[in-house]
């Protein structure tokens, strides 16, 4: 199996699940688009490389995975998006 399949699928799943949340008015404690970009731009060069995007998504996945079983349930994802 292609080694990039896992990160690509992770990115697709997280993108599909976070886009509706990003379309909602942002709560005060969440960064706006500029803040999200700055959080993702790990080396602060004004560009988000694929590796930076994947690192950011992987970190958010780990935060959402409350029981640390390397898989998300609907409950875990819902709880994460509500925080």
Which pLDDT value is given to residue 79?
95
Residues of the chain with pLDDT > 90, as a percent, come to 55
Average pLDDT over the chain reads 82
Query: Model confidence at 32, in pLDDT bands (50, 70, 90)?
Result: confident
Task: Kindly give, in sequence order, each residue whose CB lies less than 8 Å from that of residue 60, ignoring residues fewer than 6 positions away.
Answer: 14, 18, 80
Q: Provide the pLDDT for residue 27.
A: 52
Give yes or no for residue 26 having a pLDDT over 60: no
Assess whether pLDDT exceeds 70 at residue 38. Answer: yes
pLDDT higher than 80, residue 30: no
**What's the CA dihedral at 40, 42, 48, 51 to 10 degrees?**
-100
- Are 56 and 64 in contact by the 8 Å Cβ rule? The answer is no
Long-range contacts of 21-26 (CB under 8 A, 24+ apart): 21/81
């Amino acid at each position: 199996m292609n080694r990039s399949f896992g990160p690509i699928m992770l990115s697709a799943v997280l993108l599909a699940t976070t886009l509706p949340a990003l379309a909602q008015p942002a709560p005060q404690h969440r960064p706006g688009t500029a803040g999200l970009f700055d959080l993702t731009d790990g080396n602060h060069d004004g560009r988000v490389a694929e590796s930076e995007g994947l690192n950011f998504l992987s970190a958010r996945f780990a935060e959402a995975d409350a029981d640390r079983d390397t898989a998300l349930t609907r409950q875990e994802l819902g709880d994460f998006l509500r925080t």
